[in-house]
Structure 1
Amino acid sequence: MDPKTSAHLDSFSREHLPPPDQWPELLFDLPELNYPARLNCAAELLDRTADRFGPDRPAFRTPHGGVWSYGELRDRVDRIAHVLTSDLGVVPGNRVLLRGPTTPHLAACWLAVLKAGAIAVTVLAQQRSVELATICSIARVSHALCDIRAIDDLVKAQVPGLRITTYGGDAPDDLLRLAEAERGPYRPVDTAADDVALIAFTSGTTGRPKGCMHFHRDVLAIADTFSRHVLRPTPDDVFAGSPPLGFTFGLGGLVVFPLRAGASSLLLEQSGPVQLLPALAAHRVSVLFTAPTAYRVMLDHVDEHDLTALRRCVSAGENLPVATWRSWYERTGLRIINGIGATELLHIFISAADDAIRPGTTGVPVPGWQARVVDGEGRQVPDGEPGLLAVRGPIGCRYLADERQRDYVAHGWNITGDTYVRDPDGYFRYVARADDMIISSGYNIAGPEVEDALLRHPAVAEAAVVGRADELRGRIVVAYVVLREGAELSADELRTYMKGELAPHKCPRVVEFLPALPRTATGKLQRFRLRDEFSGCGTSDPEMLRDE
């Protein structure tokens, strides 16, 4: 990044990028990735798309039948951008926190912040005051746009100097009321392609969250790689899903991808599996983004709803068990597009669609990306051997002033922290998170493999497997299980079933039943909580000691 070309008057983000020698190698091999030096991604996603497809096309849909056209969305975004710069004093490069449930207003605020040359820091509506204070401190946030219904924790965070503007209320200084003033079109700030556009924070499930800085060109790159080449949306598609906009999986799937394609998106405040199915049917949704757990839960009710418009189902956020993939395909005839992405890399970089799908694998590198499996020294390991997943492409990890940059980037590659195997046919198969491998009596046991076997039992709705310290074996396999509603199953019955599915050393020695598994607000399983908080007595199986 050349500071002389940056449009940012507030240079904080540029000054706190990691040094260039700690960046991964970036690839721009596809012609569509050759972006101009000056680029404002909000203008590209909204203004250029409205110009191409016309202002009357639907852009955002609401659960109750409301529709914002591209022309209406552009008008609302321009009005908010005027308020930001003229009334609130936001200058290019300022960090603006965005907080609220998933609504067209939140998405419009995100576009307005970027159009004004500021940096969007979108957080989850579920995050509490301590988490919000930490994020604001790390990113030096100066302004916040917050849904009036989500204001309490933000006020409680007591962030020094933070100017909070609410929307959705009836106060005279409400953002939407200020935006009623007629000021005409807003000219987007002429940002550089490598000006920071957003700071996305990692989930923070194990320690201090990391701020991942992404450029204006990065926002378009996720649409021009995964969406363009794997998802392949059309302007007539209707997108929907469960991930919130504070989660980059949701930001891409519900805002960036549909806008880049001239399509529309149904934005749901309530998007759990119970709410998703009727919404998919009522609004004729054709492209769905959600997590493996949601697909699993929806299986019990999928026959009750008309899903004939649905043609694309995308899964990410955690490993997709092959049992879930097969069950969904058998019930719907739809092949789930599995994928792995990361907040550090903004969205999905390994995936496959249609006839290229191999159930049980994640897929192949998305066009524009490269991937390989390496050992601890960065050397590529032979096909069929497990190692660390290393990837590189048009986007790379750039932590905001964080020493952990050296852990994520090595030898020019992004090291994701996942253990993978590359099959001889080039497909990448997930094994486990690198820190979730269980070593028991000298055996390496991948928790996801055991979970997949548990999920094949018809009574099991959810399952998670972790290791627990054991004096004799070092660690033992512990299974936490959530049963389907109305199902009855004992630990002994489940262990007997597992002995027919896996080698004895992989079978759980302890089975514990829970009403629900601990998850983050984005739906990711919190295995560390199972290891640390749920280590009860369980029900072990001494007979298994003799099976080996």
Structure 2
Amino acid sequence: MMQALPGLDGEGRWDIPARLNMARQCLTGDPDALAVIDLTGPMRRDVSVAALSKMVDGIARALLARVQPGDSVGVLLSQSPWCVAAHLAIWKIGAISVPLFKLFKHDALASRVGDSGAEIVLTDAEGADLLGQLAEPWLAEEIGVAGAPMPFANTGPEDPAVLIYTSGTTGTPKGALHAHRVLTGHLPGVAMSHDFLGQEGDCLWTPADWAWIGGLFDVAMPALALGVPVVAARMAKFDVEECQRIIAKGAVRNVFFPPTALRMLKAQGATIDGLRSVASGGEPLGAQMLAWGREALGVQINEFYGQTECNMVASSCGAAFAARGGCIGQPVTGFEIVVLDGDAPTDGEGDIAVRKGAASMMLGYWQRPEETAAKFRGDWMLTGDRGIWEIGFLRFVGREDDVITSSGYRIGPSEIEDCLLTHPAVATVGVVGKPDALRTEVVKAYVVVKQGAETSAAELQSWVKERLASYSYPREIEFLDALPMTVTGKVIRRELKHRAMMEGAP
């Protein structure tokens, strides 16, 4: 039988007050309670709720001299107490935080900073170097914590709070604008995916960066809101031995592992003792991986499902029901999910959709009303995924678009194509995902070189790495004489996708 879940009332409806501020949600616990276990330095450092509050107030005080409620402020910080303090300070004064990823290069940062209008970015020395002249960097650690406590802005649940960019198949990345209710909307799904998170001794960590919704709202902020210590630990790239060391040093009992991390653990024969829950999301795992998890990790891996626009809408929960191999769980209480055939729900395969009114659903795409409208069909938000019901469980069938899922990252092909087209030797290009056993997909680019020009795969790979992000560069590049095109000159990605799938078939 399902226990009561946070964020909901006794009837399973959203419990959202008329005035709501996410910073208050995260900072109103016992002042002496442990909030963040900082493993980013050589020694473990424990940060209490009171100490975190002082960090938040120091940043908030500095921001108020330059920032108005509703203004966008970037946060370019890896896992650390200062990362959560920066977001909380921005929310506390009623401004909008914009998470930015340290692996982004100039062009990727420029598109997000420019589109959001963020004139100030809270960061560190490394992030300041990455930003260059794109915005004014404020070194969060140097702002200071002295002064009287700052008041919380009198925000409501529908007031904008965080702008998270997501990759699509066309154009530049879109910003999904979320309100202060978004944290409440994550709480029931996070609790389910960790077998009712908040038990005595619980301590949460993920190797996923806190610049993504999966790190920030599946782990860091829900942990603070539920009074569960969260571990901050940086890994430049996933390493099995370092992962085991972090879990041991931080006394971690609850982990969100992206599927690629689980595959790497499995491939190296790793085992981890002492875990109470393991959650995973982003890609279906399958029965074999679930069986391995029970043996090597000692728990049922709880798969969950969602996306940046509306997250944590379905989940498994080993403490309440057995997982079904190949499925991504049952609807989380508070969310209504359907599979649509046209405009009508169906028991067969169709479009996965979530009813409007869910607390974790975005307000809309930042300054893109037409694309926001296209995301909805009547009362339903379309996820862009295809699915089917199996005895109350949701099975993911595939995506409707060309978004590439690689090592847990959702990568839009358009941004990579645009970057490659700036290379002086490239005439046309098409980017797709190619099936890969470890990463689910790898980015593959099909390139036509300009007549008389010369380049190489290594040169083009470096071109993308230096401008976008090291995780999104094309791991494979194939040079062709021509690409399949429509009569209007648009690359037909589906033909390239079919070609890549045939190449990746076992």
TM over 0.5: yes
How far is the alpha carbon of 1:142 from its aligned partner?
2.4
AA aligned opposite 1:335: Q
Instruction: Tell me: CA distance 1:428–1:538, structure 2 relative to 1, closer, same or farther (3 Å).
Output: closer
Counterpart residue number, 2:19:
38
Q: SS where residue 150 of structure 1 aligns?
A: helix
CA offsets per residue over residues 411-432 of structure 1, 9 Å max, x none?
Answer: 1111111110112x21111111
Q: C-alpha distance in 1, partners of 2:394/2:12?
A: 26
Contact 1:199/1:212 (CA < 8 Å) preserved in 2?
yes
Q: C-alpha distance in 1, partners of 2:227/2:374?
A: 38
Question: 1:351-366 residue pairs with structure 2 within 5 A?
Answer: 351-354=315-318, 355-366=321-332
Question: 1:387-536 residue pairs with structure 2 within 5 A?
Answer: 387-392=350-355, 393-397=358-362, 398-402=364-368, 403-423=370-390, 425-435=391-401, 479-481=435-437
Contact 1:243/1:522 (CA < 8 Å) preserved in 2?
no
Contact 2:37/2:229 (CA < 8 Å) preserved in 1?
yes
How far is the alpha carbon of 1:193 from its aligned partner?
1.8
Contact 1:83/1:179 (CA < 8 Å) preserved in 2?
no
Instruction: Tell me: CA distance 1:331–1:135, structure 2 relative to 1, closer, same or farther (3 Å).
Output: same
Q: C-alpha distance in 1, partners of 2:504/2:258?
A: 31
Q: C-alpha distance in 1, partners of 2:294/2:36?
A: 29
Contact 2:106/2:130 (CA < 8 Å) preserved in 1?
yes
Q: C-alpha distance in 1, partners of 2:327/2:115?
A: 37
AA aligned opposite 2:375: Y
Contact 1:277/1:298 (CA < 8 Å) preserved in 2?
no
How far is the alpha carbon of 1:327 from its aligned partner?
1.8
Selected match of 1:71 from 50, 53, 59 = 50
Number of residue pairs matched by the alignment: 418
How far is the alpha carbon of 1:206 from its aligned partner?
5.4
Instruction: Tell me: CA distance 1:523–1:315, structure 2 relative to 1, closer, same or farther (3 Å).
Output: farther
Counterpart residue number, 1:112:
89
Contact 1:221/1:395 (CA < 8 Å) preserved in 2?
yes
Contact 1:82/1:179 (CA < 8 Å) preserved in 2?
no
Structure 1 regions of 5+ residues with no counterpart?
1-26, 168-175, 438-446, 452-476, 484-517
How does the TM-score come out when normalised to structure 1? 0.69
Q: C-alpha distance in 2, partners of 1:31/1:430?
A: 25
Selected match of 2:113 from 118, 132, 136 = 136
AA aligned opposite 2:104: Q
How far is the alpha carbon of 1:538 from its aligned partner?
8.5
Q: SS where residue 299 of structure 1 aligns?
A: helix
Contact 2:60/2:89 (CA < 8 Å) preserved in 1?
yes
Q: C-alpha distance in 1, partners of 2:126/2:375?
A: 37
Q: C-alpha distance in 1, partners of 2:71/2:128?
A: 21
Contact 1:292/1:321 (CA < 8 Å) preserved in 2?
no
How far is the alpha carbon of 1:30 from its aligned partner?
5.1
Selected match of 1:374 from 340, 350, 355 = 340
Contact 1:29/1:368 (CA < 8 Å) preserved in 2?
no
How far is the alpha carbon of 1:480 from its aligned partner?
4.1
Q: C-alpha distance in 1, partners of 2:225/2:19?
A: 18
Selected match of 1:218 from 176, 182, 192 = 182
CA offsets per residue over residues 122-168 of structure 1, 9 Å max, x none?
Answer: 1111111111111122222122111211222211xx43xx332124x
How far is the alpha carbon of 1:273 from its aligned partner?
3.9
How far is the alpha carbon of 1:202 from its aligned partner?
0.3
Selected match of 2:273 from 308, 328, 331 = 308
> By percentage of residues, which structure has more helix?
1
CA offsets per residue over residues 431-489 of structure 1, 9 Å max, x none?
Answer: 1112369xxxxxxxxx99xx9xxxxxxxxxxxxxxxxxxxxxxxxx9754569xxxxxx
Q: SS where residue 389 of structure 1 aligns?
A: strand
Contact 2:330/2:393 (CA < 8 Å) preserved in 1?
yes
Contact 1:117/1:197 (CA < 8 Å) preserved in 2?
yes
Q: C-alpha distance in 2, partners of 1:85/1:283?
A: 35
Contact 1:236/1:264 (CA < 8 Å) preserved in 2?
no
Instruction: Tell me: CA distance 1:205–1:108, structure 2 relative to 1, closer, same or farther (3 Å).
Output: farther
Tell which structure's C-alpha radius of gyration is larger: 1
Q: Which has the higher mean CA deviation after the structures are superposed, 120-129 or 326-335?
A: 326-335
Q: SS where residue 244 of structure 2 aligns?
A: helix
Q: SS where residue 36 of structure 2 aligns?
A: strand
Selected match of 1:164 from 112, 132, 137 = 137
Quick check: 1:329 aligned with 2:294? yes
Contact 1:78/1:112 (CA < 8 Å) preserved in 2?
yes
Quick check: 1:240 aligned with 2:205? yes
AA aligned opposite 1:125: K
Contact 1:247/1:522 (CA < 8 Å) preserved in 2?
no
Quick check: 1:296 aligned with 2:234? no
RMSD over aligned Cα atoms: 3.4
How far is the alpha carbon of 1:99 from its aligned partner?
0.2
Instruction: Tell me: CA distance 1:482–1:85, structure 2 relative to 1, closer, same or farther (3 Å).
Output: closer
How far is the alpha carbon of 1:362 from its aligned partner?
0.7
How far is the alpha carbon of 1:262 from its aligned partner?
0.6
Instruction: Tell me: CA distance 1:537–1:29, structure 2 relative to 1, closer, same or farther (3 Å).
Output: closer
Contact 2:123/2:137 (CA < 8 Å) preserved in 1?
yes
Q: C-alpha distance in 1, partners of 2:314/2:289?
A: 19
Q: C-alpha distance in 1, partners of 2:291/2:322?
A: 15
Contact 2:205/2:232 (CA < 8 Å) preserved in 1?
yes
Counterpart residue number, 2:460:
none
Q: SS where residue 435 of structure 1 aligns?
A: coil
Q: SS where residue 396 of structure 2 aligns?
A: strand
AA aligned opposite 2:101: L
Q: C-alpha distance in 2, partners of 1:353/1:522?
A: 34
Question: 1:248-263 residue pairs with structure 2 within 5 A?
Answer: 248-263=213-228
Q: C-alpha distance in 2, partners of 1:540/1:288?
A: 31
Instruction: Tell me: CA distance 1:319–1:279, structure 2 relative to 1, closer, same or farther (3 Å).
Output: same
Q: C-alpha distance in 1, partners of 2:176/2:108?
A: 16
How does the TM-score come out when normalised to structure 2? 0.75
How far is the alpha carbon of 1:207 from its aligned partner?
3.5
Instruction: Tell me: CA distance 1:436–1:81, structure 2 relative to 1, closer, same or farther (3 Å).
Output: closer
How far is the alpha carbon of 1:379 from its aligned partner?
1.6
Q: C-alpha distance in 1, partners of 2:68/2:317?
A: 42
Q: C-alpha distance in 1, partners of 2:501/2:26?
A: 54
AA aligned opposite 1:153: L
